[in-house]
């Protein structure tokens, strides 16, 4: 089975590579070479008809993922569809379904349809655990076949990338059970795998049968997103033996995936103090030899809810500027509730702004042209033209006109006392005086 990595290693430049090159303003050959070495991925599944091409990784613009999905307490498919529509409208690059309530197969397929071709991700372990609970009264009574059959079902449905918690080993799970971590585990899928290992006294099936997993993903040329089961859920737990131990295992799995021609990215790092974020990214990039980094947060404080989307924007801008590639948004509901569609919008906007801030650092003039054009127009007091270049022009227009129609000139904040307006008037006066002197 030919995959994008194998095609790149053969020297071929595929249509997908050309499309990413066009979007990003770089040469197709650069995209090919980075895919060949695993530093760039193109998230797609050959079974996902009409999937939109998105490149993630070194030298590319920072992408943003939006999580949606039902819960066991709030299961409203129409609301989740609305969240997907909001994500599409406000510029999400990928979407993940984290549903745990209702008919999971039906919900996933409906949300894929609603996603307008955006690359779509899932965490298949959720479904395995939930269906075992429904059948046996215990989520831990799933079999290894259940696990891999569900992965294959998601691949057949066209899921482009999946979070797979393959890096948490039984050895780490046993240590975790006797640790003094502030919050032992916050990854839902990771906890299901850890609990299964401890209950059955078996190794992690994803880890033990990783080669078989690679065969499945190679068949569909889908992407494995190596999950961070032991990411810190409190800043006091950041970069402890569990987070780092899992990362080192993940790095070895990244190498095995590349050898088999399977695209892979790495997830992390959770709650991390601000001063540790940059070296977290650099450490991850070093041990994985530049694998794309998919970051949740990072959250540099545990105390921001219900404004975790703002705290995450601070952390993710710093992480992306240091080299992180895909930001998983957080909403105002993080740690408190399932989000509403409006909270999805707020979270996505915060992450999109963080991504742009980071890209000014990472990519320079390739993205900062927008900022320069906005500043030029502001200097000329052309507010209506300025709005067109903003990241969210529709929302900006509403604010611009919230006290009535606005013509060219200063906004309602400074009005006639606008410093730009006064400076323009001073310059005109100086020019007029100069003309009088010359005459």
Q: What is the per-residue pLDDT across 373-428, written as a single tens digit (0 to 9) for each? A: 999 999 888 988 999 999 999 999 999 999 998 877 888 888 888 888 877 777 77
Q: What is the pLDDT of residue 424?
A: 77
135-153 in b/e burial notation, b at 16+ Cβ within 10 A?
eeeebeebeeebbbebbee
Q: Does the pLDDT at position 433 exceed 70?
A: no
pLDDT of 423: 78
| Residues 29 and 35: beta-carbon distance below 8 Å | no
Token representation of residue 216: 């499945």
The answer to whether 264 and 270 are in contact (CB under 8 A) is: no
Q: How many CB atoms lie within 10 A of CB 109?
A: 14
Q: What CA–CA distance (Å, rounded) separates 119 from 15? A: 17
pLDDT at site 150:
98
Phi-psi region of 224 (alpha: psi -120 to 50; beta: other; left: phi over 0): beta
Q: Which residues contact 208 (CB under 8 A, 6 or more apart)?
A: 202
201-210, 297-306, 380-389: which range is least confident on average? 380-389
Per residue in 8-30, is it b (16+ CB within 10 Å) or e — as a string? bbeeebbebbebbbeebebebeb
Cα(126)–Cα(100) distance, rounded to whole angstroms? 7
CATH 3.20.20.540 residue window(s) in the chain: 62-363
Can you give the pLDDT at residue 220?
98
Q: What is the assigned CATH class of domain 62-363?
A: alpha beta
3-class DSSP state for residue 362? helix
Q: What is the pTM of this model?
A: 0.94
Span 237-266, average pLDDT: 98
pLDDT of residue 413: 87
172: nearest Cα among 137, 203, 200: 203
Number of Cβ atoms within 10 Å of the Cβ of 231: 26
Structure tokens at 194: 């850890």
Mean pLDDT of the residues in the chain: 95
- Given a cut of 70, is residue 437 above it in pLDDT? no
Exposure string for 288-313, b = 16+ CB within 10 A, e = fewer:
bebbbbbbbbbbbbbebbebbbebbb
Specify the pLDDT at position 428. Answer: 73
Q: Look at residue 25 in the predicted model and tell me its pLDDT.
A: 95
């Amino acid at each position: 089975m030919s995959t994008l990595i194998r095609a790149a290693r053969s020297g071929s430049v595929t249509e997908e590579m050309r499309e990413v090159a066009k979007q990003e303003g770089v040469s197709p050959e650069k995209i090919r070479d980075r895919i060949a070495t695993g530093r760039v991925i193109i998230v797609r599944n050959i079974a996902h008809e009409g999937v939109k091409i998105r490149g993630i990784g070194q030298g590319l613009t920072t992408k943003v993922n939006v999580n949606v999905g039902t819960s066991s307490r709030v299961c409203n498919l129409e609301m989740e569809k609305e969240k997907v529509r909001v994500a599409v409208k406000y510029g999400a690059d990928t979407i993940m379904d984290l549903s745990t309530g209702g008919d999971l197969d039906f919900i996933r397929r409906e949300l894929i349809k609603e996603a307008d071709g955006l690359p779509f991700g899932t965490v298949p372990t959720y479904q395995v655990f939930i269906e075992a609970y429904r059948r046996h009264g215990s989520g831990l009574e799933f079999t290894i076949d259940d696990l891999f059959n569900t992965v294959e079902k998601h691949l057949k449905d066209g899921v482009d990338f999946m979070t797979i918690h393959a890096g948490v080993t039984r050895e780490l799970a046993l240590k975790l059970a006797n640790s003094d971590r502030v919050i032992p585990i916050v990854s839902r899928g990771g906890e299901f795998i850890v609990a299964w290992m401890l209950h059955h006294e078996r190794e992690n099936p994803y880890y033990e049968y990783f080669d078989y997993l690679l065969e499945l993903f190679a068949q569909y040329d889908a992407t494995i997103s190596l999950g961070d089961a032991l990411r810190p859920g409190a800043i006091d737990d950041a970069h402890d033996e569990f987070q780092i131990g899992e990362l080192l295992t993940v790095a070895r799995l990244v190498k095995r995936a590349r050898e088999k021609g399977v695209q892979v990215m790495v997830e992390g790092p959770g709650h991390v103090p601000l001063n540790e974020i940059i070296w977290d990214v650099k450490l991850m990039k070093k041990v994985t030899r530049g694998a794309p980094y998919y970051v949740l947060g990072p959250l540099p404080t545990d105390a921001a809810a219900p404004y975790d989307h703002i705290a995450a924007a601070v952390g993710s801008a710093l992480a992306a500027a240091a080299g992180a590639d895909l930001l998983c948004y957080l909403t105002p509901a993080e740690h408190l509730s399932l989000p509403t569609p409006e909270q999805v919008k707020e979270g996505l906007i915060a992450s999109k702004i963080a991504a742009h801030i980071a890209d000014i650092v990472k990519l320079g003039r390739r993205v900062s042209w927008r900022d320069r054009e906005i500043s030029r127009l502001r200097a000329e007091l052309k507010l209506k033209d300025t709005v067109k270049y903003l990241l969210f022009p529709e929302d900006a227009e509403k604010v611009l006109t919230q006290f009535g129609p606005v013509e060219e000139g200063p906004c309602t904040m400074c009005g006639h006392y606008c410093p730009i307006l006064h400076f323009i008037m001073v310059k005109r006066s100086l020019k007029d005086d100069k003309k009088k002197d010359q005459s």
